[in-house]
């Protein structure tokens, strides 16, 4: 989903231009799915789909060198790779290899498949294989998806994958084993590569996944690159020595690191700058919630709270005059106290501090930079608003909600005092022109706006800028609900892609009635579902609103446990059952996902929800909705797997200037 807004993004000193069309890489995903009777043919997965031909990651018509597709679920396999968009025509075929015997492979019937520009020639959506022992014909459904992505998006995926290489707190070993070795032609990078100890790097690569007994040899004789999304949505990468730089994800990551710098390990302070009633605290709270949800240890330090604790609530506008030296000294003192607390918190392991104050003079900002020197990186975030209607609205909210005016019953008197305070700040205000900074200019009014950045580099600052570009203050509801009860829910089976039960069908009707009434005046609302049929069927009766399917909203990938009950998992793989019970947040199903993986793949969904100005109805799955709700409710990550999201209920999240509010509707008893 695109996340671009209507705001102009002006880069000042950031360096470089955006990627052109010629710089984009083609990310191709091939999928095969068994189309037979799944209950009758439970042993069909013993035949493993492979691919061979002139694809970049194979490069051979020798069936013995065919590359295995990775299992996504019991009856579905996938393989993904990156190629230049002008790759020419590639021809290939599928074949089946028995998993446990030396029987000959079974080659796909018919002519070779041709791939050009990410599209298959013809309309062959099935692959047929003839069993030699009885001439029975097997049919597999074939899907292909191709997206153009920039080298920097591929680099970000690589970095996200690097994060999950850390040893699991459950198994005490990495879920994926990758050995690091130096690579000729990519000096000064720290990109680890997978390899086989008994082969040349340019020919072979070996994967080992904890929790499975599979290991696959990857032949890359033509310098191709494999991006295998076997663990959640985080790519695994294999690179050959002959691959030209910037031709795939690993090299793209190296290029991005050279241009943007490696992922930060130091602490960072986001220092707010701006006049009162410009939305600083709102922006700080929203950014804190976003970074915490992504797993960054983030804390909001509000200097106003320090001032009220030390000097009380009843400070009039005179306290904020620039010629009141006692007031200036008192305000600088509490700013220094807050800064010292933030730096001490960082010494204890905190990563990102959000320092919320006006910081309206260069002298104050220089004081903060001197205190932070050698301890953390400072980025100034300046909020500028010239829309008088928005300013008046913010002042009214400030008078009603700020503790500074809790003892002021007269609204008019409070307004006058606050405007006098604002006038004192305006007389000495100095816009940010020093250091690294982000300027948000009139971005909250819904009428466009501008974003200016200076001397911003690195992965996390880039994510922060991207998030801020897409935020606004427009009130709108976001409605979250699980799909109606499915047949697999009735049987107690996880994953799968079953249809709705009778109770689920009833909920689909009740949901349609609720949404059509609740959003009857919202002509620009839309419905988001996953790509699984139980969510699509739940949305089928909802009115004329556009319906959008997100693969990112699919249920957590249960890997080899897909289609099983928890009792079957406990009986067949007790070690997996116990590992999941011990650490549900970080536990990753073999060949599947963890809750942390789900959060990573939901980030584009969150960005798009923040960008939307109209209501959105999200019909998804329990694990996905737990992660989404945790973002809006600012729940700690450790609580995500345990959030209750019952069937046949609706959670309404109201996004307002004053914060996030929620209501819960029980639509079926």
For 1, the 3-state DSSP assignment is: coil
The kind and range of the H/E element at 270 are strand 268-273
- Give a three-class secondary structure readout of 556-576: CCCHHHCCCEHHHHHHHCHHH
Q: Which candidate in 385, 417, 488, 597 is catalytic?
A: 385
> Residue 419 contacts by C-beta under 8 Å, 6 or more apart in sequence?
395
> Could you count the other beta carbons within 10 Å of the beta carbon of residue 664?
10
Among the listed residues 300, 472, 483, 621, the single catalytic one is 483
Query: CA separation (Å) from 182 to 186, 188, 247, 592, 632?
Result: 8, 10, 18, 30, 43
Residue 483 designated active-site: yes
Q: For residue 468, give the H/E element and its range.
A: helix 459-469
HEC secondary structure over 28-80: EEEEEEECCCCCCCCCHHHEEEEEEECCCCCCECCHHHCEECEEEECCEEEEE
Annotated catalytic residue 356: yes
> Under a CB-based contact definition with an 8 Å cutoff, are residues 441 and 451 in contact?
yes
User: Which of 153, 356, 562, 597 is the catalytic position?
Assistant: 356
Distance CA 302, CA 454 (A): 25
3 state SS for 200-254: CCCCCCECCECCCCCCCECCCCCCCEEEEEEECCEEEEECCCCCCCCCCHHHHHH
555 is catalytic: yes
SS percent in the chain: helix, strand, coil, step 5: 35, 25, 40
- Catalytic entry in 382, 404, 555, 593: 555
Burial class (CB in 10 A: 0-12, 13-18, 19+), 379: buried
- Within 8 A by CB and 6+ apart from 569, the residues are 561, 576, 577, 580
Q: Which residues participate in catalysis according to the annotation?
A: 356, 385, 483, 555
């Amino acid at each position: 989903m695109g996340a671009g807004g209507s705001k102009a993004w002006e880069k000042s000193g950031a360096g470089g231009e955006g990627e052109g069309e010629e710089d984009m890489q083609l990310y191709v995903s091939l999928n095969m799915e068994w189309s037979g009777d799944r209950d009758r043919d439970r042993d069909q997965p013993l035949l493993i789909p492979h691919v061979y031909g002139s694809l970049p990651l194979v490069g051979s018509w020798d069936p013995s060198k065919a590359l295995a597709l990775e299992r996504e679920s019991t009856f579905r396999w996938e393989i993904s790779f990156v190629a230049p968009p002008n790759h020419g025509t590639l021809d290939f075929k599928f074949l089946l290899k028995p998993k446990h015997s030396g029987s000959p492979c079974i080659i796909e019937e018919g002519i070779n498949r041709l791939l050009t520009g990410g599209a298959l020639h013809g309309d062959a959506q099935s692959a047929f294989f003839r069993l030699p022992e009885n001439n029975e014909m097997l049919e597999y459904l074939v899907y292909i998806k191709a997206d153009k992505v920039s080298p920097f998006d591929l680099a970000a995926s690589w970095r996200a994958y690097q994060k999950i290489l850390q040893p699991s707190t459950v198994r005490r070993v990495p879920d994926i084993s990758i050995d690091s070795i130096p690579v000729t032609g990519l000096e000064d990078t720290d990109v680890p590569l997978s390899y086989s100890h008994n082969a040349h790097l340019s020919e072979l690569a070996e994967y080992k996944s904890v929790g499975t007994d599979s290991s696959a040899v990857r032949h890359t004789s033509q310098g191709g690159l494999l991006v295998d999304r076997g663990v959640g949505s985080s790519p695994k990468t294999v690179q050959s020595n002959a691959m030209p730089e910037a031709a795939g994800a690993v090299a793209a990551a190296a290029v991005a690191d050279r241009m943007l710098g490696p992922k930060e390990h130091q602490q960072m302070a986001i220092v707010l700058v701006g006049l009162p009633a410009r939305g600083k605290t709102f922006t700080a709270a929203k950014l804190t919630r976003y970074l915490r949800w992504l797993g960054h240890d983030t804390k909001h330090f509000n200097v106003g709270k320090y001032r009220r604790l030390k000097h009380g609530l009843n400070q009039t506008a005179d306290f904020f005059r620039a010629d009141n030296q006692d007031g200036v000294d008192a305000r600088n003192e509490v700013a220094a106290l807050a800064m010292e607390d933030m730096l001490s918190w960082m010494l204890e392991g905190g990563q990102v501090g959000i320092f919320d104050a006006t910081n309206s003079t260069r002298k104050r900002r220089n004081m903060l930079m001197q205190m932070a020197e050698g301890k953390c990186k400072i980025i100034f975030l300046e909020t500028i608003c010239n829309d008088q209607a928005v300013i008046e609205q913010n002042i009214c909210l400030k008078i009603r909600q700020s503790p500074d005016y809790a003892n002021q019953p007269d609204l008019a008197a409070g307004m006058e005092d606050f405007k006098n305070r604002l006038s004192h700040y305006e007389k000495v205000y100095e816009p940010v022109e020093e250091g690294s900074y982000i300027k948000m200019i009139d971005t909250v009014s819904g009428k466009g706006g501008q974003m200016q950045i200076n001397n911003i580099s690195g992965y996390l600052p880039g994510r922060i800028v991207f998030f801020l570009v897409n935020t606004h203050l427009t009130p709108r509801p976001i409605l979250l609900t699980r799909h109606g009860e499915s047949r697999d829910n009735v049987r107690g089976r996880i994953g799968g892609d079953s249809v709705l039960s009778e109770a689920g069908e009833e909920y689909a009707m009740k949901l349609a009635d609720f949404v059509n009434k609740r959003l009857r005046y919202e002509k620009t609302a839309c419905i988001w579902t996953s790509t699984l049929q139980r969510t699509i069927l739940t949305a089928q009766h909802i009115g004329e609103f556009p319906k959008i399917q997100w693969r990112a909203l699919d249920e957590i990938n249960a890997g080899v446990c897909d289609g099983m009950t928890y009792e079957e998992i406990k009986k067949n793989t007790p070690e997996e059952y116990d590992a999941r019970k011990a650490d549900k947040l970080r536990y990753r199903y073999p060949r599947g996902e963890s809750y942390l993986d789900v959060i990573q793949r939901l980030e584009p969904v969150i960005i798009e929800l923040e960008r939307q100005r109209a209501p959105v109805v999200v019909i998804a799955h329990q694990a996905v909705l737990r992660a989404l709700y945790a973002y809006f409710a600012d729940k700690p990550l450790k609580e995500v797997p345990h959030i209750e999201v019952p069937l046949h209920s609706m959670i309404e999240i109201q996004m307002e200037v004053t914060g996030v509010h929620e209501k819960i509707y029980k639509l079926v008893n």
